[in-house]
Structures are given as structure tokens and as C-alpha cells.
Structure 1
Amino acid sequence: MSTSAHTRNGQGFVAGSLIGTLGGLIGLGGAEFRLPVLVGLFRLGTLEAVILNKAMSLVVVAAALLFRGATITPDVLANHLDVVLNLLAGSLVGAWWAAGHAIKLSPQWLNRIVMALLVGLSLLILWDAWAGLHEGSAPLFEAGPARIVAGLIAGFGIGMVAALLGVAGGELLIPTIVLLYGLDIKLAGSLSLMVSLPTMIVGFVRYSRANAFAVLKHERPLGVSMAVGSILGAAVGGLMLGLVPTRLLLGLLGAILLISAVKTFQHAH
């Protein structure tokens, strides 16, 4: 392996570690922040970056689910399988539909859509920092048909975003679970991972039909380095939880994501 390749992989590990640490501090995987780095720093095409990001997200989410097993036990999660199944029924369809359309879009349109979604996520993060969305609330709907329909619609939208950005969707899933079902934030974090994993697998399978799927072979060293860094960073961030005020960190990360999304995808080729 050449010196430049070693340097590139080292940069991937450092970037993954930093993003994973920041994500761990606020309970996210950080995939939203990896995507602009893959396009802006490592010069991948947008579709290739989305596919590589999704592969890394699968590894990070699976690891996170295992790490959280000691805090939120399987029997507790089993008591809320109705929430997972409700959201999954929508997210699997949304992920399959969005990934199928993404591989047919022109690069220009894909850039515009990705930039719009990242800007939307950054504004959601900034709103969360201001409004304290992660502090919990009573459920929007009582158990019944209305909540099931709302869960299906929310799941479909989240599945679309997850497929188009190659992310786990935690920034959307966690507040949805907290607000729609009125559950504790820590429990919501684990339930969101249970929804994310099969949703990402469906999108991943759909992307396997695209020529850009070859990026997994061409950029395997970079992907592995970045994924390992992300997992280690997420573990460190989890241990540092509480050291930095969550609202302050959310505000900072929201601003960074907003600026990087616009700068990266406005001029992406």
C-alpha cells in the first residue's frame, strides 16, 4: 500500500473517531456528518459516498446495539416491540422506494436532494438544541389507530431519509419515538437502533443493483478505517456523556452540519 493510501486511511480513522465521539456524546451514530466528509474531503461521488456511508452505518449501528445491551436489556426492548414494528412497517417501504429512485437520479438532482435533507437535519438539530426535544414529553397520541397511522407515515419518511443519506436515522427516530409514543430517551435510543438496522439492510440490498456499489471494493480500506474509528469514537463519546451540555453541543453540531452540507453539496460533482 502506498504512502498516500496509508495517509488517506489514517485521515479516515481520525475523521471517523472525531465524528463518532461527538455522535456518542449526544446519542447518535454521526453518519450525517460522515457524508459531507466523504464527498468533501475524500472526493467520492455522492451516490458512492451514500453507499459507503450506509455500509459503515450498518457496522456502527450493530456495534451500538450490542454496547447498549447492558443498559437496556432485551426483555425491556421486547416489551416495546409494537413501537418497533409500527415504525418498521413504514420505514422498510420508504427505504426500498427511496433507494430505488436514488440510483436512477442524475448526480445533480441527487446532490440537491442530499443537500436539502442535510440542511433539514441540521435545522432539526438546532431546533432540538433550542427547544430541548430530547427532554421527553407525553405521547402525541394515545394507543390506537391514529398512532399506528402516524407511526407508519413517520416511518416511511424516516426510511426515505435513511436510504438517501446512508444514515441510521437516529436524529429523526429518537425524537419521533419520544414524542409519538412518550417513551424515555434512553429506551428510545435502543429502539431506534432496532428500527435502523433492518431499514438500512433493505436500502443496502436495493443499492446493490447500482454500478456505484463497486465503491465498497475500491474504498474498502477507507471504509474499514473510518468504521473502526467511528465505533471507538462512539464508545469514548458514550463514556464522556454528561461532560458537555447537550444543548450546547447540539447547537454547535447543527451549525457545523448546516455549513458543511451547503458548502459540500452545492459544488459537488
Structure 2
Amino acid sequence: MQRRSDVSSFLGGLSVGSLGGLIGLGGAEFRLPLLISFYGFVAVQAVILNKVMSLVVVASAIPLRGQVVDFSEVWSHNEVIFTLLAGSLIGAWLGADWVTKLANRTLYRLIAGLLVLMAVVLLWSHYFAGDVQFELSFQERLIFGILAGFAIGVVASVMGVAGGELLIPTIMLLFGADIILAGSLAIMVSLPTMLAGLARYRRDPRFIVLVEQKRFVLWMLLGSIVGVALGAWLLTLIPTDYVLMVLAGLLLLSAYKVYHHD
């Protein structure tokens, strides 16, 4: 397709990365509807491509996060990491397995619903999550953490995202971490979770799209990584509240377009 030219792929990645950088994430929730509605990939292909690009973008953020929160401090909260992983690894595998068996139309509607969920969580986590904390026992944190991890793993595999937009408020609510530490902990959970989902997708014949579209993937990845840095810089110039309202609106518009995608 003409829309998958090198320049178009880079600019698409740049726009996605910039949007993600504005909220401190990789932008996968914006990349997925773009892959479907603009670049013309069918549902499972788009999810697989999004998952791989999300993995690379998140992994590239590890050195930067290390400058913000020291790894020793992150590791001192390994209870959070292992609790969420106990659920998310299983959820990621099962979520990918379910996706490969769904009809395209059903998957489009499911993705649309999850995009609406992402918009709601984005606004709620910014305006309310910091004001809510639960006093939970170790056993309660374990149970709720595993269940939350499972649900996030499923969502991450269905949408091909890292899941940071769900992991960060979950870590803040259940484990009382501040938003900066929660961001670093989310990366440590999301990377193994994405690998688990990809391990299941790799068994699907449609995984070949990565080989067929490797040039497209490379250019979009490059644009995404540059865009994340650009978005982080733009955040210093634009009021946060305004940014979040615009991004939530874009997610809702994307949900509408994906739901009605033919």
C-alpha cells in the first residue's frame, strides 16, 4: 500500500510516539487504531505488529528510567513485580490465544471497547488515582494483585500494548507507590508480559506479517522512538489537563473508527 511508504511509516510512528510521550507511555494505544484504520492491516496482524513495536519502544525506555529511579530501589519492591506477573503472564498467553480464534469483526468491536476503557482510565488515573489508596493486608494485595495482573495481561495481548496505562494506576492503588516509582515497576512487569503474549502469537501463521512488513516496522519504530522524546519535550510547553482531554478524545474517536471498520 502507498500509505506504508518509508516516509509515511516514520511520520505515523512519530505522531504515535509523540502522543505517548505526552502521557509518559509508548503510544501503543494510539498506534493500534492507526495500523487498522490508516495502514490497512487486518485485526490480528495489527495486534501482532503493535505488540512487537511496543516491546521495542518500552525496552528502549529502560536506560532513561534508570536515570529517574535507581534499579536497586525498583528491585526493593519486587513483591509488586512478582505479584502482578503471577497473573499477567497467564493472562497474556490466554489473551493472545483467544485473539487468534476471534473473527475480525468481533475483534474490532472488542478493541473499540478497550480503547474507550483506556480513555476513561487515562482521565481517572490523572485526576483521581493519586487521591485513593487502599489499606490492604499482604494476602489481600496478593489476591487482588494477581487478579489485576491477569486482567491487564489479557488486555495487553488483545491490543498489543505494554499495559502501562493500566499497570501504573493499579500499582499506585494496590501497593501505594508514587507515580514515578509506579512507572518503573510497570516496565518491569510489562516486558515479560509482552514476551508471553508474543510467544503465543508466534504460533499463529499470521505472525509472518513481521517478516513481510519488516521495512514498515523499522521505519515506524524509528519514528515512535523519536516521537516519545519529542512528546516528553512538548509536555513542558503544553498544560497537562488540556493534553489529557485531547488524548482521551482521540482515543474515543479511534474507538468509533475501529468499531465501524470494514
Tell me the TM-score normalized by structure 1.
Answer: 0.92
Q: What residue in structure 2 maps to residue 122 of structure 1?
A: 119
Cα-to-partner distance string for 1:165-185 (whole Å, 9 max, x where unaligned) = 000011101111111111111
Give yes or no for the alignment of 1:211 onto 2:208: no
Cα distance between partner residues in 1 of 2:116 and 2:93: 23
Select 1:250's aligned residue among 210, 225, 244.
244
The amino acid that maps onto 1:18 is: S
**Could you tell me which of 96, 99, 117 is aligned with 2:96?**
99
Counterpart of 1:167 in structure 2 is: 161
For the aligned residue pairs, the C-alpha RMSD in angstroms reads 1.7
Distance 1:194 1:183 in 2: 14
Counterpart selection for 2:107 from 110, 127, 130: 110
**Could you tell me how far apart the structure 1 residues matched to 2:164 and 2:96 are?**
18
Q: CA deviation at 1:138?
A: 5.8
1:67-146 correspondence runs (5 A)? 67-128=64-125, 131-133=127-129, 136-137=130-131, 139-146=133-140
The residue number in structure 2 matching 1:11 is: 8
Distance 1:216 1:34 in 2: 16
Aligned to 1:152: 146
1:25-36 alignment, distance < 5 Å? 25-36=22-33
The residue type equivalent to 2:227 in the other structure is: G
Q: Aligned partners of 1:182 and 1:246: how far apart in 2?
A: 23
The Cα offsets for residues 186-226 of structure 1, whole Å up to 9 and x where unpaired, read as: 11111101100000000001001111101101111111111
Structure 2 CA distance for aligned equivalents of residues 210 and 247 of structure 1: 41
| d(CA) in 2 for partners of 1:128, 1:75 | 26
Structure 2 spans left out of the alignment, 5+ residues: none
Tell me the distance in 2 between the aligned counterparts of 1:260 and 1:247.
20
Whole-angstrom CA distance in 1 between matches of 2:155 and 2:34: 18
Q: Which residue of 2 aligns with 1:221?
A: 215
Residue 22 of structure 1, CA deviation: 2.1
Q: TM-score, normalised by structure 2?
A: 0.95
Corresponding position of 1:61: 58
Task: Give the counterpart of 1:195 among 178, 189, 196.
Answer: 189
For residue 143 of structure 1, report the CA deviation from its aligned partner. 4.1
Q: Distance in 2 between matches of 1:126 and 1:240?
A: 19
Contact in 2 for aligned 1:89/1:152 (Cα 8 Å): yes
Question: How many residues are aligned here?
Answer: 262
Does the Cα contact within 8 Å between 2:87 and 2:147 map onto a contact in 1?
yes
Distance in structure 2 (CA, Å) of the matches to 1:43 and 1:162:
21
